[in-house]
Amino acid sequence: MATILDGLGEKLVDKWLSALAVPGLLFMAAAATGAVLGQGAALDLTALRERVGHWAAEAGKWSTVGQLAAVAVIVLGSVAVGTFVQTCAGGVERVWTGDWPAPARQPAKRLTSWRRARWEEVQREINRLRAVVPAARRGEETRDAIDELTARRDGIALAVPSKPTFTGDRFAATDSRLRNQYGIDLASCWTRLWLVLPEPVRAELRTSRARFSAAVNGSTWAVCYVVLGLFWWPSAVAGIAAGLVAWSRGRRAAALHAELIESTVDLHLKTLAEELGVTVAGPVPDLQAGKALNRMFRKGA
């Protein structure tokens, strides 16, 4: 038991340092640099070295207790900064997923309408090509044109856009596609489905969710560095670069996580239905089985 507790403690400390202390310490270092140099001498490394050397010399005169107290204050400050940013990441994730707060509802509606208009324009062109040439008589050129248009449409959203962001629509499309295919309400079904999943599948889902969360956290830190750029412009440059990287990784992570959720339902919904005694006639549950599962999960509500 002591060995297990020691191992668990080491993991918690490692997670604590990587998630809170280290990013917070880097931000505090950037803030201190900005406070020393300001905008006028933002890249004056000589002035920075002189100031840091002066601080180190002064700290060297302190007692051991004073030096330890200073280190403790710095560590606790970095953890406080990291905790604050991680708390803000919940709100940033809402922005990613299109669940914008009330003051931003109007811009969200306009952006959603614009995305929907683009999606529908491409879909109309796909429908036109399909109507003009029946499937049996389509040549290679027509099929390539339809495939290209389909890729353009799916690049906007896999279903009719209902959110102002790509990530929000990607998650919403998973819900609508599963409802159309199986008749299930994913929100009602997911907790029960999770309980019958094999552990390797759960681990893969946790990993993909962690990738998306890491991208959201990265974008939150990027915003903090951009704000710091109001006082020290190199911070804004770093923040913009970090934000672009987080945006790219976040889109990929969201698409992968949504795809894994959909694939999980495809492969394991039948197992859930059989566990609950719902008859499944074919290889996968049909719409009637899905509706029966919904009624069961909602408890008549």
Handedness of CA 295, 258, 95, 176 (dihedral sign): negative
Residue 253's CB is within 10 A of a number of other CB atoms, namely 21
Q: Quick: pLDDT tens for 265-290.
A: 999 999 999 898 888 877 778 888 88
C-alpha–C-alpha distance, residues 280 and 286, integer Å: 7
Residue 109's CB is within 10 A of a number of other CB atoms, namely 12
**Letter for the amino acid at 79?**
V
Report the predicted TM-score, pTM, of the whole model to 2 decimal places. 0.84
Q: Quick: pLDDT tens for 36-82.
A: 888 888 888 888 888 888 787 877 788 888 888 888 888 888 888 88
| pLDDT for 199 beyond 50 | yes
Q: Is 182 helix (H, G, I), strand (E, B) or coil?
A: helix
| pLDDT for 10 beyond 50 | no
User: What's residue 3's pLDDT?
Assistant: 39
Rounded-to-5 percentages of helix, strand, coil across the chain:
85, 0, 15
For residue 12, name the pLDDT band (cuts at 50, 70, 90): very low
Helix axis angle, 22-37 relative to 45-60, nearest 10°?
110
Across the chain, mean pLDDT equals 86
User: What's residue 18's pLDDT?
Assistant: 60
Asked if 182 and 287 touch (Cβ cutoff 8 Å), the reply is yes
**pLDDT mean over 88-110:** 91
C-alpha–C-alpha distance, residues 119 and 154, integer Å: 8
Q: Minimal CA–CA distance to 193: which of 297, 258, 269?
A: 269
